[in-house]
Structure 1
Amino acid sequence: MRVAILDDEQTEVDRITQTLQNIAKRSEVPWSLHGFSRGEELLRQLKRETFDLLILDWQLPDVSGLTVLRWSRKHLEKQPPVIMLTSRNGEQDVVLALNEGADDYINKPFRSQELQARVLAVLRRQGNVVQNKSPSLKVYDLLFDDTEQQVKRNDMPVNLTEREYSLAKCLISNIDRPLSREYLYERFWPREEVHSSRPLDTHIYRLRSKLGLTPENGWKLATIYGYGYRLERIASD
């Protein structure tokens, strides 16, 4: 779960981060929290990185949180949920942000337990995995069994390493969603390993072959130049 927090007050970023870390401790999915003090900086990252959730202050010294919200709704192919967290509490402000595509609107000063509850509610509506769910996942011809760390394709077991299994399940759980290299490295590679393209590319190549993620089988595991990868379901020949 990769979260961007936009607020020009570091104390607020720290407090939001601490609140979300309480959710992360209970989650089966690793969380990565990224703080930004300027809207322009976050916009640059959104153009080249993947985030699962945006928490945006409205008033910033450069690009406002509302502008970031509008940009994300206009330009991102798969739009992450957005929570506005701001001291602007007028009814017109709330209505404007929600009409522009915000998933929730929270006034400052926020209450930690309420923020946790609202974040979880937004992620549930979006279908993001926050807590442990069913140990199995079946998508078309692929069956993932978390208990055995096993994948079956057309009921035939496929031999995958632990990292290949985790990476494959992430791709399957995010069909049609572009995933940046940094997003995948943060989730599946230890920090001490070098973040070059080769380890990830090698794993992608192996998954294409082992799981039959090819057009003739109804799959396309596409490379997005300068960004990352996207798994798509297509009509097979």
Structure 2
Amino acid sequence: MSDLVRSQDAAVATTKATAKVMIYSDDRATRDEVRMTVGRRPGKGAPTIEWFEAATEFGIEDLLEKETFDLLIFDGEASKVGGMGLAKQLKDEVEACPPVLLLIARPQDEWLGRWSQAEEMTTFPINPRDIQQKVTKLLMGANAR
């Protein structure tokens, strides 16, 4: 039993201490909901999250020039520039683009999420367990790189 605990502790110790995550939505309430639902540490073994927020396409460009992110969370329903199109553009144009978690309004929009090359999708209203598990999975995968 103690060996199992030690090996789990070792795995946790090898993960990155802090992950940089950007949330993009033109709606402040959506950004707040995602941030509050995911929390500072979404799951066991996951790094502590340092949150960055963008409300516009230009805000995303500025942040991407200044920071290296471990995960991008995009609102697929954002107005003017939607998260789906933005994810597709970044995946096509940015070398070593971080993983993208896409927030979609309806399960039927999942095909658009696949088109955008997002690694994961979750629907509104936000399911806390679902988004925490997906954020943890994507961050743990990012730490393996």
Which amino acid in structure 2 is aligned with residue 73 of structure 1? Answer: K
Which amino acid in structure 1 is aligned with residue 116 of structure 2? Answer: E
Equivalents in 2 of 1:25, 1:105: separation in Å? Answer: 18
Matched residue SS, 2:101: strand
Contact between 2:107 and 2:123, CA under 8 Å: does it hold in 1? yes
Q: 1:65 aligns with which of 67, 77, 83?
A: 83
1:2 to 2:20 alignment: yes
Q: 1:106 aligns with which of 104, 122, 128?
A: 122
Q: 1:115 to 1:107 in 2, by over 3 A?
A: same
Which amino acid in structure 1 is aligned with residue 128 of structure 2? Answer: S
1:107-134 per-residue CA deviation (whole Å, 9 max, x = no partner) reads: 100111211011112233x2426xxxxx
Q: 1:77 to 1:87 in 2, by over 3 A?
A: same
1:21 to 2:20 alignment: no
Which amino acid in structure 1 is aligned with residue 38 of structure 2? Answer: L
Equivalents in 2 of 1:104, 1:3: separation in Å? Answer: 14
Q: In structure 1, what is the equivalent of residue 3 of structure 2?
A: none
Q: In structure 2, what is the equivalent of residue 78 of structure 1?
A: 96
Matched residue SS, 2:51: strand
Task: Give, in angstroms, the shift of residue 49 of structure 1.
Answer: 2.4
1:120 to 2:136 alignment: yes
TM-score normalised by structure 2 residue count: 0.74
Q: How does 1:37-76 map to 2 (within 5 A)?
A: 37-76=55-94
Equivalents in 1 of 2:46, 2:83: separation in Å? Answer: 30
Equivalents in 1 of 2:112, 2:78: separation in Å? Answer: 17
Equivalents in 2 of 1:41, 1:22: separation in Å? Answer: 22
Q: 1:95 to 1:24 in 2, by over 3 A?
A: closer
Which amino acid in structure 2 is aligned with residue 53 of structure 1? Answer: L
Which amino acid in structure 2 is aligned with residue 89 of structure 1? Answer: P
Unaligned regions of 5+ residues in structure 1, if any? 130-173, 175-237
Q: 1:26 to 1:56 in 2, by over 3 A?
A: same
Contact between 2:27 and 2:78, CA under 8 Å: does it hold in 1? no
Q: 1:28 to 1:7 in 2, by over 3 A?
A: closer
Equivalents in 1 of 2:134, 2:22: separation in Å? Answer: 16
Q: 2:30 aligns with which of 8, 12, 17?
A: 12
Q: 1:100 to 1:56 in 2, by over 3 A?
A: same
Equivalents in 2 of 1:96, 1:25: separation in Å? Answer: 28
TM-score normalised by structure 1 residue count: 0.48
Higher Cα Rg: structure 1 or 2?
Answer: 1
Contact between 1:7 and 1:57, CA under 8 Å: does it hold in 2? yes
Q: 1:48 to 1:68 in 2, by over 3 A?
A: farther
Equivalents in 2 of 1:78, 1:89: separation in Å? Answer: 28
What RMSD in Å do the two structures reach over aligned CA positions?
2.3
Identity of aligned residues (%): 24
Contact between 1:40 and 1:63, CA under 8 Å: does it hold in 2? no
Contact between 1:39 and 1:60, CA under 8 Å: does it hold in 2? no
Total equivalences in the alignment: 127
Equivalents in 2 of 1:62, 1:89: separation in Å? Answer: 22
Contact between 2:103 and 2:124, CA under 8 Å: does it hold in 1? yes
